[in-house]
Structure 1
Amino acid sequence: MKDTYVEPSSTLEIYEECDILVVGSGAAGHSAAIAAARAGCKDIVLMERYGYSGGDVTGGYVIMVPNLSWYDKQFVRGLQEEWFTRLEPIPQAVRGPKGNQLAAPTLC
């Protein structure tokens, strides 16, 4: 038999009720909350343990977000593609060519 640990029961106060709870407001959590809202969900709570949203992009001091492309292949679609589109007007916010500037590799 394996050892077990029994945690004493406690009473938890309910602060908020929701239909969807997204835990973590980094890139994935942010995208999940937006996708849920766009799908018609009305009562969404985005919960974050730190005092800011954005995950590594803000807390990790990421100063450049790459557009994640390789030659004529663009690997980002959906909400992240929308992020890049919105970031494009900010100088040096997105590195690399825009989607319509991608070209196939040439042979030497």
Structure 2
Amino acid sequence: MSEIMKKVGQGIRHFRKQRKMSQEELAHLAQVHESYMGKIERSEKVCSIEVLERVTSALGISLEAFFRYVQPIDSVKQEEFTIEEIVDQLRGRNEEEQKRVLRVIKALLEDDRKE
């Protein structure tokens, strides 16, 4: 299997575990067979870009942010990825949830200034 497909499989596994999802849950949300999802993660199967888009969407991350994670260019790009991932996590959340996260971020930054 190609190196990029290994990175894709590892990236899917990383985000799935980060979100505490099972392969079965992710497969269901992405509308693919459970065994196929496992083969993608293990780099035993190549998936189409359409399937990858469904998978990343089910994980709550954009294709662009996903590819930045699996193929980072440099530290500046990695920094942009982190910001993009924060934005992706907030997308689709209601206004109250977004405001709660913003309060937490502000509190953390205030704590850092005091130290």
**TM more than 0.5:** no
Q: Where is the helix percentage greater, Structure 1 or Structure 2?
A: 2
Q: Normalised by the size of structure 1, how large is the TM-score?
A: 0.24
Q: Where is the strand percentage greater, Structure 1 or Structure 2?
A: 1
| Greater Rg over alpha carbons, structure | 1
Q: Normalised by the size of structure 2, how large is the TM-score?
A: 0.23
